[in-house]
Structures are given as structure tokens and as C-alpha cells.
Amino acid sequence: MQTPVRELLGVDFPIVAFTHCRDVAAAVSKAGGLGVLGVTGHTPELLETELNWIEREIGDRPYGVDILVPARFVGKEEGGLDSERMDALIPREHRGFVEALLQEHGVPPLPPDTRPRRDLSFENQHQRELVEVAFSHRIRLVANALGPPPDWMIERGHEQGVVVAALAGTAEHARRHVEAGADLVVAQGYEAGGHTGELATMVLVPEVVDAVTPVPVLAAGGIGTGRQIAASLALGAQGVWTGSVWLTTEEAETHPVVKRKFLEATSSDTVRSRSRTGKPARQLRSAWTDAWEDPANPDPLGLPVQTVLIREAWQRIEHMAHKSPGAEKLINYFVGQIVGSMNDVRSTRSVIEEMVQEYFDTIERLDAWSQP
């Protein structure tokens, strides 16, 4: 795996792991990969705490952060909307549908003393504050997951020698990222968990590589084994961006009911749905996604208004999922089609070690086949 990206990121293996869990991010970096912490839902104060903790854990190992600065979202022209203004955009029909869905599944209100969940904010000032906190630490990479990185992120990254990455679902998106100044493109295929496009990884990766060479590309979507890493490099990628495979590790903070569902799921048990964020995002199919896909029900709202609509509902579902059959049927999380191979709970380090060993076994087998 002696690719240029390995040197660019300062890692032993060109395996990048996106996660919302600081423990997983630190464990990946300590095992020789690059842990990347998703920070969009953080406050600046929480982010400061999390990054300080990671740096104490990993010593001089590299790590990164991922933030959502979407190219398009409701209220973008106004610099983002506060919670009160977003609340005003939610139709009564949608509020009624969500409450009826919870009542149908027997999900009670939250206890009176429960702290309300914070809204996902895309206000320009909030995003800049998060990036400023990140750049005050020794991050090696900053990634934007929805659209080209904004000018201010690229300029600050280049000033500090931080690699600026962006995720792309088409070759055209990848070209825009590079034109904006991105140093690294993540070609994320349809199989991936979370926000993803409509082209499969096998098709997308070589298209993106051809479109942006010599800018390096990481392959993403459906990657969780050494064989898939070898295939990614064969397609022209210089490394891989992984996510779902870490959700069932020992260190992952995945909701226990969701983790059990992942371990039992097949590769056919995911769906690309707008029901969680307002943008198409692959997640485990559940009674929640089924209800939003029913044409008799309202369509999901746009990003981030949909997240505001469902914030309390999801808090109620997660609070009750371990003791309410109805909430258990509703609960899900973002995950890719690789979920069908996520059949046991292992340490993050063991996942990395198995990936690397299988990669070398695969290369050895291919070398043997190439001999006359």
C-alpha cells in the first residue's frame, strides 16, 4: 500500500475511517490508519473537548475532521436559518404525521426533565466557528461531505498545511472540488452509508480518477475488507474512505438496539431515503423509512428543516428503543450495503489488521495468477 496518499496523510496504511465516535477515530489512528471525526453536530466547546481528548490518546499520530458545509440547503441564501425560523417552515401536516407515527408505534413523550436535542445548524457563522476550532488543533485533514469546500476552508487549510478533501458522487462533482482547490477527492459510490449519489463504486471510482488526475482519489462505498481495498487500488484510487464497518466495533457508540440490527442485517436491508436529513442518505430500512416512502404520507422536507421536524421524535425513539417494541421497529441509523458483512463485534485494531492481511493475501494471489 505504498501509495502517494499514504505519505500525504502520514499514515502506515491508506485507510481513512469516518466516524462520529472519538474512540473509533483514535483507535484507527493508533492502528496506522487515519481516524476522521464527524463534527457537524458539535458545539465549538464540545469539539474543543473531543479534539483535546483524541490528541492525548494518539500522541503524534495524524487524524482529521469532517464537517457538512452543503452547497445547497434551505436558507443558504440568507446565511442559514435559526431554529425559530426553521420551525416556522414546517407544515402542520408534517408535524401531525410524525406524531401519529409515534403514537401508532406506542412511543411515549420524553420525560419532563429530558434535555432537548440540539438542532443541526448550517448557519455560516457556526460552521466557521467549528472549522476555527479544528484548525487550532493539529489535524492532518479536513473534509467537506456535501459540495465543494468553501474558499475560506481551503485557504485556511493551505495556510496551515492541512489536506482539504471533498466527497463526490459524480465525476463532475469531483472536477468542481478540484477547481475549488481541494487536495483530495473521495469518490463515494451508491453503496455507501449516509448521503450518497446514484453511481456504484465500481463505476464511479475510475471515472473520478480519470477526471481529476493527478489529484489523488480515495474510494468509498461498500468497502470494509482487504479484497475491497485491493479492488479500489486496481481502479486507480490511492486509498479508501470507510465508514459503516466501524459501527459494530467494540469502541463504537452505536445505539445498542441499532448495533444488534446491524449485526443481523443483510446487504439488502438498507434504503436510500430522505427521511432523516432531507437529502438522500443510505440507512437501515425500518418502519420509519417505510412510512416516509409511502406515497400516501407527506414527502420529507429539505435539509435542514427535516432534521428540525424530527429532532424530538428521534430523541423519543432512541430513548425507548430498548424497552418498546414499536420504537425498536422505528429505530435505524445510516449504514451502507456492507452491513451484510458486519456480522460480529470486533476491536477497531483487529478490523484494521484483518483488512491489511487480506489485502496482502489478495495481492499475493493475483501475483500468482499472473505468472506463466
Is 139 found in the same domain as 236? yes
327-359 confidence digits (pLDDT tens): 999 999 999 999 999 999 999 999 999 999 999
pTM greater than the 0.75 cutoff: yes
Structural domain tally of the chain?
A: 2
325 is in which domain, residue-wise? 83-119+254-330
Is 309 found in the same domain as 295? yes
Is 219 found in the same domain as 141? yes
Q: Are 332 and 287 in contact (CB under 8 A)?
A: no
Is 133 found in the same domain as 48? yes
- Rounded CA gap, 143 and 135, in Å? 12
CATH of residue 182's domain is: 3.20.20.70
102-128 confidence digits (pLDDT tens): 999 999 999 988 887 765 555 567 788
205-237 confidence digits (pLDDT tens): 999 999 999 999 999 999 999 999 999 999 999
Is 303 found in the same domain as 275? yes
What does the radius of gyration of the chain's CA atoms come to, in whole angstroms? 20
Is 115 found in the same domain as 262? yes
pLDDT score, position 123: 57
Q: Are 270 and 290 in contact (CB under 8 A)?
A: no
In sequence order, the 6+-apart residues with CB closer than 8 A to the CB of 276 are 283, 306, 307, 310, 334
**Domain assignment present for 343:** no
Is 238 found in the same domain as 204? yes
In sequence order, the 6+-apart residues with CB closer than 8 A to the CB of 306 are 274, 275, 276, 277, 278, 300
pLDDT score, position 137: 98
- Torsion sign, CA atoms 162, 198, 290, 224: negative
| Residue 299: HSE in the Cβ half-sphere, 13 Å Cα cutoff | 5
Is 150 found in the same domain as 45? yes
